[in-house]
Structure 1
Amino acid sequence: MTQSSVQGEGTLQRVRHADEDSAHAGRTTAGTAQGNSPGTEEEPESGPQAEALHGGRRARRAPRLGGRVLRWTAGAVALLVVGTAGAGYLYYRHLNDNIKEDHLNLGDSDVAAPTPNAAGQTPLNILLIGSDARDSEENQKLGGAKETFGSPPRADVQMLLHLSADRSNMSVVSMPRDTLVQIPKCTDPDDGQVYEASNGRDMTNLSLSNGGPGCTVATWQELTGIHIDHFIMVDFAGVVSMADAIGGVPVCVDANIRSRDSQGHGSGLELEEGTHPVKGEQALQWLRTRYGFGDGSDLERAKAQHMYMNSLVRELRTNATLGSPNKLRKLAEEATRALTVDPGLNSVKKLYDLSNELRAVAPERVTMTTMPNRYVGARVEPTEDAEQLFRLVREDIPLDGKGQKKKRTTEPVSGDPAAPDAEIAVQVQNGTRTDVLGPANRRATEVAGLLTEAGFTGAVPDPQTPPAEKVTVVRFPSADLEGDAQAVARALKIPLSSVRRSTDVSGVTLVVGADWREGTVYKAPARSDKLPDTAEALNGADDGACMHVNPAFSW
């Protein structure tokens, strides 16, 4: 198979629709996104029934993309069918004009694209974004807290879709909306508006307020080291229309559920025990529900979304009603109206080409995951297992464990020249603590001494105790220090794969992990390509999954 014809085009200026004039040269608006049933309160941000966060970091101005999207699932519908209902050139032009676009990456730097395989193929990574903004009358009617009308949107749904280079398998990685990350500096190329990097860590869903989806893309790339080719956003009302067009999606609950508490929180979803097709507003309620599923956390909502997407794909493959030209036309119309994309996906032809690639993957080769995380108060942060998941995606290793074993490639050497060893400042931290052992005594001092003996006279131990690290790692904050960080790694025989860019550090930082609690010679542990159990994988062919209902929300 040839390389994808829809690879990303970088940060580009917005291309206006053919019917736009100079008065409409700014960004157009989509609908909006995630909310509650009419008249209900805003849902809390995180954790089991955590308190709502109504403040937080805000953009300095209201973004010009007034209406944002809701669900990546609607994006999946659009990708699978858009373009098949065209009836002539004029209708094709009409569908093209429905599609809205925005910049791909507003960050100051990018992650290099993967090296093509022997067949010239590269993986394809698409970020699917949802928002809690409610900026249109249509979307406001479908759900939400009235007090949030017109406020800056937040990216409450974020999922990375990874299509393998050989197009044999696909992975989806969900990130909880309240994951604590450092949002990078983002610049709006339309007006030069600068959104400074977060001071410390903020919830990842705030990234959308900083100029649009391009800042959410930049945030993902900084955290994961994964090159993102495209993004897709779908508006709130579009989810309802497209669910109607396909005739419903089967979902399952293990008990009767009514998602509403005494304070009015909840999506309003009401279903009897068993499997039922949901469509329209009921489908939207399913995708928004967390009150009533398990412990009421965002993690439970992600599971429900994974179940919906799996069922949706199976339905699109087998549902005979989609053979109707009129239904296909309606679906194509609703899908294109709902979409906001980057310039690399700004036409029906590009979306249709992409849909053909996605449809080629069998459901049993699709793996849904949630980023491994742990609670920090009412929020969450990535764990060591999250880095393992990100590495598997970066290296295009199938998450289902099937297929040929990926051959190890030569580790990439930075094009940034290293400074002389004696001029490289290095902070050495003791991250050797484990679940059962405290930090190894004076380990940062000992390893800093090894670097000094090797000529890195600027190496000093950091008296602060960092978070525990299972594996020793060298971090650097910006591209101009990558060569220096790799020089440090080579001096201690640390694999270059353990040299990572991170906005959590201000200079080259060596964190001595639990794998090097003693001794003067580092021995890298054998790497495992197994998906961590904490990723809570769901196979795309699993039609027996059922959401567990919290008894407090049953009837």
Structure 2
Amino acid sequence: MTDRGVRDLGWDDSLYETRPQHEADAARTGPPAPGAPDGGRAQRAAGTRRRRGRRALRWTAVVLALLILGTAGAGYAYYQHLSHNIRKGKRNSGASNVHKTPTNALNILLLGSDSRNTDANLKLGGAKYTRGDKPRADVIMLVHVSADRSNMSVVSIPRDTRVPIPKCTDPKTGETFPATTHAIINESLTHGGPGCTLATVQNLTGVYIDHWMMIDFAGVVKMADAVGGVEVCVRQNVWDHPTPDQPGGSGLKLKAGRQKIYGKTALQWLRTRHAFESDLGRAEAQHMYMNSMVRELRSQNVFTDSGRLRNLAEAATKALQVSEEIGTPKKLYDLGMELKSVPSKRITMLTMPPATDPENDQHYIPDAVNAPRVWAKLVHDVPFDDNGAKKPPKKPAESGPPARPAADIPVAVVNGTAGDSTGTPVNGRAGVVAGLLAGQGFTGAVKAAEAQPSATTAIAYPAAQGAQARSDALAVAKALKLPVGLVKESSHVASVTLVVGADWREGTAYAGGADPDAKLPDSAGALNGSDKSTCMPVYAPYRWQ
């Protein structure tokens, strides 16, 4: 968005952060509209955007917050009020060597905390003795928006997944938590806040995460009511209540069929696990809810009701906690504009393919074959759906300059095998693969001294060296029979760099688990954003007559 467009909406941080009210007013030109605190420009700008605005709102309460902020600008005082509502925290508070790729893809970590540290949250569930406890991450979702903003993927990571949690430091207290290799991922939030969970997910997936956003129980209720309810569906009557075999439960009680849910019932829906049989069922129900919210918002003409817009903006800014680099209304607005062009049919909701934890059958670990396929698609910005415009066939690799002789291509081989659910490296793995390359004539292949945990194998070449470096990297891929899709340019490497990921821990032949062009596994439970037919089955013990 241009600087002028930002000023016209009254959302210019430089104006609001450095200039008093009377100077900001004086900077505007033209006679003010009667009763318009910003000279009427926000109303006129909103009017010109109304048709686009109806398409702008997208899938979840968190993203709704971003986009509402962009339409509710009403001058300095209101901007400052919304700014005061927003709570901020450090983006990353844990050890992670994952670097941002040179593409323009956008990755956001969405967290739902189980905090009961306020009266409002205690009223929604939980014992009083839990007040003061550090919250855990009940919901963990990684949102990937493609570099061209044509498609979006949302990957849920079950809260009971066992993963390594890196060394983290709580930015509020300065307390340091040592790294652990056998922990449940939702505990990462207690080790240093959302920034520790971000580092944990980065290490697990190999995906650089630009921002995080977090919402608690009370925030979900506020947002559900502000939206006006969301339609869900259950196949049988459901009551998620305590049973002789299973204590607890969300309290969700609904009759079979399609119906709108609001407030506390929406929270119960998003938290229900037992009646939907498992964490995987809960993730499926959450995906249904988010997709349904997209359709609900698109059916509403919210941009013509300024009062409702303000109510939505109030609810959104009070409900959210965000990483500090996006912690102003203007920056949240800009982020929302990054998301507005993605149509429902190009949104895919899915779950990390799981395997049963051998140490506890109530927990999960990432499926060693299928999870890397999901991470590879995110890392390489490959869409999960087939609804995009058909692209012309890729040019053959030979269309660029020929690769240099193998002996003249320096290759750094990095051990990334610690990037799996155990966090345990295969010692000497980089040396083994460097030896394989040497056997193919790449005598300049050497193992790197520093490891870089990565869920997926990848080959990076220096962006500054252009087509020649790409041809050299493709020659390395061909020698090891690696998929061409694993080859990407990077501004962080000085020579062709092969990271041997956790998907290639043994053997001389690559199994292909991280091929970004591989088919999405059925265990991911992918749901397209335009699918209106889904209806949750209810586990038999939680059905009622």
Normalised by the length of structure 2, the TM-score is: 0.69
- What's 1:221 paired with? 202
- Please name the residue that 2:506 is paired with: 511
- Offset at residue 375 of structure 1 (A): 0.8
- Report the secondary structure of 2:480's partner residue: coil
Where 1:182 maps in the other structure, the secondary structure is: strand
2:520 paired residue among 514, 520, 531: 531
Deviation digits for residues 132-188 of structure 1 (CA, Å, limit 9, x no counterpart): 221111110111233422112211211011111111111101000111111111234
Cα separation, 2, equivalents of 1:153 and 1:218 = 17
Matched residue type, 1:164: S
Secondary structure of residue in 2 paired with 1:511? coil
When residues 94 and 165 of structure 1 are mapped into structure 2, their CA distance, relative to the original with a 3 A threshold, is same
The separation in 2 between residues aligned to 1:345 and 1:371, in whole angstroms, is: 27
After superposition, the Cα gap between the structure-2 partners of 1:474 and 1:511, relative to the gap in structure 1 and judged at 3 Å, is farther
1:125–1:227 Cα contact (<8 Å) kept: yes
Cross-structure match for 2:253: 270
**The one of 354, 370, 379 aligned to 2:363:** 379
Offset from partner CA, 1:470-504 (integer Å, 9 cap, x none) = x99699xxxxxxxxxx9xx88973649495477x8
Distance apart, 1:409 and its partner CA: 11
- Per the alignment, do residues 354 and 492 of structure 1 end up closer, same or farther by CA in structure 2, a change over 3 Å counting? same
Where 2:137 maps in the other structure, the secondary structure is: coil
1:101 equivalenced with 2:88 (yes/no): yes
Match of 1:554 in 2: 543
Q: 2:320 aligns with which of 314, 322, 339?
A: 339
Structure 1 distance, partners of 2:507, 2:434, is 10
| Residue 537 to residue 248, structure 1, CA distance change in 2 (3 Å) | same
Shift of 1:426: 8.5
Amino acid at match of 1:78: A
8 Å CA contact retained: 1:74, 1:234? no
Query: Could you tell me how far apart the structure 1 residues matched to 2:414 and 2:101 are?
Result: 30
Distance 2:209 2:456 in 1: 27
Secondary structure, counterpart of 1:161 in structure 2: strand
Q: 1:501 to 1:153 in 2, by over 3 A?
A: farther
Aligned AA for 2:131?
F
User: For residue 300 of structure 1, what is the amino acid of its counterpart?
Assistant: G
Aligned positions of 1:230-379 closer than 5 A: 230-262=211-243, 264-293=247-276, 296-320=277-301, 323-376=304-357, 377-379=361-363
Change (3 A) 1:409 1:540: farther
Which of 60, 65, 69 in structure 2 is aligned with 1:82?
A: 69
- Out of 348, 361, 383, the residue aligned to residue 398 of structure 1 is 383
Distance 1:426 1:139 in 2: 45
1:257, 1:553 within 8 Å by CA — same for their partners in 2?
Answer: yes
Measure the CA separation in 2 of the matches of 1:409 and 1:146: 64
Asked if the contact 1:188/1:211 (under 8 Å) is kept, the reply is: yes
- 8 Å CA contact retained: 2:96, 2:166: no
Distance 1:323 1:548, change over 3 A: farther
Q: 113, 117, 128: which is aligned to 2:100? A: 113
2:417, 2:481 → 1: CA distance? 14
Equivalent-residue separation in structure 2 for 1:222 and 1:428 (angstroms):
11
Which structure shows the bigger proportion of residues in helix conformation? 2
Between the aligned partners of 2:338 and 2:417, the Cα distance in structure 1 is 46
* Distance in 1 separating the partners of 2:158 and 2:146: 23
CA distance, structure 1, for counterparts of residue 100 and residue 514 of structure 2: 27
Displacement, 1:354? Answer: 1.9
Matches of residues 49-198 of structure 1 in structure 2 within 5 Å?
73-116=60-103, 122-189=104-171, 192-198=174-180
Equivalent position of 2:184 in the other structure = 203
Which whole-Å CA distance do the structure 1 matches of 2:212 and 2:456 have between them? 33
CA distance in structure 2 between the aligned counterparts of 1:240 and 1:173, rounded to whole angstroms: 23
Contact kept in structure 1, 2:373 and 2:516, CA below 8 Å: no
> How many pairs align?
431
| 3-state SS of 1:156 partner | strand
Q: Distance in 2 between the 1:131 and 1:409 partners?
A: 48
Corresponding position of 2:533 = 544
Q: Structure 2: where are the runs of 5+ without partners?
A: 7-16, 19-58, 398-409, 419-431, 448-454, 460-472, 488-497
Contact 1:135 1:150 (8 Å CA) reproduced:
yes
* Runs (5+) with no aligned partner, structure 1: 7-16, 19-71, 117-121, 411-420, 430-445, 460-470, 476-485, 517-522
Give the whole-Å Cα distance in 2 for the aligned partners of 1:333 and 1:136.
18
Amino acid at match of 2:375: F
Letter in 2 for 1:398: P
| CA displacement 1:447-490 (0-9 Å, x = unmatched) | 9996897989999xxxxxxxxxxx99699xxxxxxxxxx9xx88
Q: Which residue identity does 2:260 align to in structure 1?
A: P
Structure 1 residues 408 and 380: CA distance shift in structure 2, 3 A: farther
CA distance in 2, matches of 1:393, 1:426: 21
Q: 1:550, CA displacement in angstroms?
A: 1.6
Contact 2:356 2:364 in 1 (8 A): yes
User: d(CA) in 1 for partners of 2:415 and 2:532?
Assistant: 52
**Aligned counterparts of 2:395 and 2:135: Cα–Cα separation in 1:** 42
**How much does 1:386 deviate?**
1.0
**CA RMSD after TM alignment:** 4.2
Q: State the Cα distance separating 1:393 from its structure 2 match.
A: 1.0
